[in-house]
Amino acid sequence: MSTFFRETFIVFRRQLRMNLRNPAWVIIGALQPVLYLLLFGPLLKPLVNQFGATNAYTFFVPGMLVQLGIFGAFFAGFSLIGEWREGVIEAERVTPASRTALLVGRLYRDLLQLLVQALILILLGYALGMSASLPGLVLGTLLTLLIGGACAAASNALALTTKSEDVMAPVINMVMMPVLLLSGILLPMTIGPVWLEKASDYMPIRHVVDGVRSSFAGDLYSSGVMWGTVWSVLLFGIAVWWGTSTFRKENA
Amino acid sequence: MIHARGLVQTFHTRQGRQKAEVRAVDGVDLDVAEGEVVGFLGPNGAGKTTTLRMLTTLLTPTAGQATVAGYDVVSESEQVRRSIGYVSQAGGAFSGARAGDEVMDHGMLYGLSRKVVEDRGKRLFEQMDLDGLWGRMPKNMSGGQKRRLDVVMGLINEPTLVFLDEPTTGLDPQARANLWEHIRDLRDRRGATVFLTTHYLDEADALADRILIIDQGRIVAADTSDNLKAQVAGDLVDLEVADRGKVPEAAGKLASITGDGRDVTVADKHVRGRVPRAGRALQGLLRDLDRAGIDLDSIEVHRPTLDDVFLSMTGRSLRDAEATAKGAVEGVAQDGGSQQADPDVTSEPSEVPQGVLR
């Protein structure tokens, strides 16, 4: 186990080093949550009573959090394609390091980025008047990290399967559109017509969004939190398994 | 060091609705002894890299088995990985990361301590003429430097067996010659066994103790360069006759020294044939031609090349190699032989190599 942790740490440190060398990555990563909150938050304020919430930011920040988590993570695989092209993945795979560690080390970086963004978002949310319980915040952030990790792992798996940015970009767009529209990230699905709400029941991410939202609102023992947790853990498990298996058998 | 029996790798490709199975490697048997430098030669797409990827545990064989450094590539892949070094075609150091960092991380993934990796890495940088480049990014290095950096990464775990996949592809001639020196050192100074793939004939000739030729997924020959060449009978003699009308007569004269009536081919003013020990036989031929009043514009003698070997084994010429050997051609009757890639291309004046007698 300690070997595994050591290997993930080596991979993580390498990824972080390369990312920190890229100032755009740092600045855009930090600015994203700020822009969402400052430019989209005010739009929700007059609407918030219509969908039964009392505090616009308590409602909006969780959705934003999940969106950051999944959409940022979906793009994690792009850097992997560049590395693959330069033979880095092959060089790593010819060492005795665990294949899971090669993936998980990269996930650490994505999760760290997400955590920092989440903290910025939450602090800013507080500054703008969000009210949420501390245990709810912690649980909500944890769920976000799980779903973000799932998306990053899936993105890495997709990257190693397609090995082409040209294939990957449209695939991600194709996945992101329904996810964005059907998970109630920006507006709750409950205000839509019944058929749309029914359709969104089949979108796992919707349950995660609901879970994080309930958790921020303080309903820690609600069914929403339970289903959100179940889906996050499940998706995370599946994605890590998929990602590891592509690292194991990657063909060129 | 390497023993493989019946290695097979099949890929599935899809064209429209049709699924096709491609046997990239189709039953490869090979043995490499400790301390050998083996050249794995074949045209692009012959299955070199796929075979290499199976031997380095990157790809699980569809069928067959192999032991590398004493371990089975499938059931003991981790031990295989610890024992070998692998320098892939693509390299292994990220262009936008510092060379030293990449070497450190790579070494530490073998479980080595930071101190050990740093000592080894810096020593390897010196040995590979990379002094002072520890902090540089590969994107700011020359092709040769980058390639040597890849070799450093492949050696960081002090492997007893080193795999090099097309090590000099894309390098300029000087960088190439320099890398050859370093590859020779792997065995001579480190005692490592070296297995290198190449589609350059001169590279296999210059570096390898023994050559394996692969074509269409099968090993078609395995022997020393000299033995392989000896299987091709005789040196290629190419006469360019000054007077077109005398070509048939010249062909007759050449046929008299090709031994057991081997074919003489005529193309335009050129008469060609394979002559055993041409260095000795030519003297008589020249006197003979002189007496018959046949003047020559040029005469060339090509020692058999690995391309001729390839041609005689497979019936096809190894045309992939044509880009290599221009400029590396040696003249008549010099020992070591002509290394021209394509023996057919001597009729056009621009292609006539140095050393042609005019």
Q: What residues of B are in contact with residue A96 (Cβ under 8 Å)?
A: 78, 81-82, 109-111
The pLDDT of residue A17: 92
**Which of the given ranges, A7-16, A123-132, B314-323, has the highest pLDDT on average?**
A7-16
Integer Cα distance of B302 and B234 in angstroms: 9
List the CATH code of the domain at B2-228.
Answer: 3.40.50.300
Please tell me what DSSP assigns to residue B339. Answer: -
The pLDDT of residue B321: 39
**What is the domain partition of chain B in residue ranges?**
2-228, 234-303+325-351
Distance from CA of A142 to the nearest CA of B (A): 29
Nearest Cα neighbor of B25 from B33, B5, B111 is: B5
Report residue B260: phi and psi, to 5°. Answer: 10, 45
Q: What percent of chain A has pLDDT over 70?
A: 98
Can you give the pLDDT of all 358 residues of chain B as single tens digits?
899 999 998 888 777 677 788 888 888 999 999 999 999 988 877 888 899 999 999 988 999 999 999 999 999 989 999 999 999 888 889 988 999 999 999 999 999 999 999 999 999 999 888 999 999 999 999 888 999 999 999 999 989 999 999 888 888 888 888 889 889 988 888 889 999 998 787 888 889 999 998 888 889 888 888 888 777 767 888 888 888 888 888 888 788 777 665 678 888 888 888 887 777 788 888 888 888 888 888 888 888 777 777 777 777 666 643 333 333 333 333 333 333 333 333 333 333 333 333 3
Of A10, A91, A93, the CB nearest to B153: A91
Q: What is the DSSP string of B195-216?
A: EEEES-HHHHHHH-SEEEEEET
In total, chain A counts a number of residues equal to: 252
Residue A5, pLDDT > 90, answer yes
Integer Cα distance of A23 and B63 in angstroms: 49
Bridge partners (DSSP) listed for residue B193 = B161
User: Cα separations (Å) of B340 from A129, A247, B201?
Assistant: 79, 42, 9
What's the rounded mean pLDDT across residues A184-203?
Answer: 82
Collapsing DSSP to helix, strand or coil, B340 comes out as: coil
Structure tokens at B17: 């609705």
What's the rounded mean pLDDT across residues A128-134?
Answer: 84
Integer Cα distance of A15 and A8 in angstroms: 11
Helix (H) or strand (E) holding A143: helix A134-162
Distance from CA of B209 to the nearest CA of A (A): 26
Distance from CA of B189 to the nearest CA of A (A): 24
Q: For chain B, positions 39-58, list CB contacts with chain A under 8 A.
A: 53, 56-58
Q: What residues of B are in contact with residue A14 (Cβ under 8 Å)?
A: 97, 101-102, 105
Residue A250, pLDDT > 90, answer no
Count CB-CB contacts under 10 A for residue B17.
5
Residue B118 sits at the chain A interface (C-beta within 8 Å): no
Q: Please name the residues in contact with B130: beta carbons below 8 A apart, sequence gap of 6 or more.
A: B99, B124, B145, B148, B149, B152
Question: From its phi and psi, is residue B85 left (phi > 0), alpha (psi between -120 and 50) or beta?
Answer: beta
Radius of gyration of chain B (CA): 24
Q: Cβ separation of A13 and B81 shorter than 8 Å?
A: no
The pLDDT of residue A1: 63
For the range A131-136, what are the long-range contacts, defined as Cβ-Cβ under 8 Å and sequence gap of 24 or more?
A: A131/A55, A131/A58, A132/A58, A132/A61, A132/A216, A132/A217, A132/A218, A133/A216, A133/A218, A133/A220, A135/A220, A136/A215, A136/A216, A136/A217, A136/A218, A136/A220
Q: For chain A, positions 2-21, list CB contacts with chain B under 8 A.
A: 3, 6-7, 10-11, 13-14, 17-18, 21
ipTM of the complex: 0.84
**What is the domain partition of chain A in residue ranges?**
2-249
Structure tokens at A149: 């990790």
Closest Cα in chain B to A248: B58
For A12-55, the pLDDT digits (tens) are 999 999 888 887 877 887 888 888 888 887 887 777 777 767 77
Distance from CA of A7 to the nearest CA of B (A): 6
Query: Which of A94, A98, A102, A250 would best serve as a mutation to test chain B binding (most B beta carbons within 10 A)?
Result: A94
Q: Which residue has the higher pLDDT, A141 or B347?
A: A141
Q: Cβ separation of B109 and A249 shorter than 8 Å?
A: no
Report residue B198: phi and psi, to 5°. Answer: -160, 155
Q: Cβ separation of B56 and A83 shorter than 8 Å?
A: no
List the CATH code of the domain at B234-303+325-351.
Answer: 3.30.70
Closest Cα in chain B to A105: B109
Residue A61, pLDDT > 70, answer yes
For the range B123-128, what are the long-range contacts, defined as Cβ-Cβ under 8 Å and sequence gap of 24 or more?
A: B124/B152, B124/B155, B124/B156, B125/B152, B127/B182, B127/B185, B128/B152, B128/B182
Contact B331, B301 (CB under 8 A): no
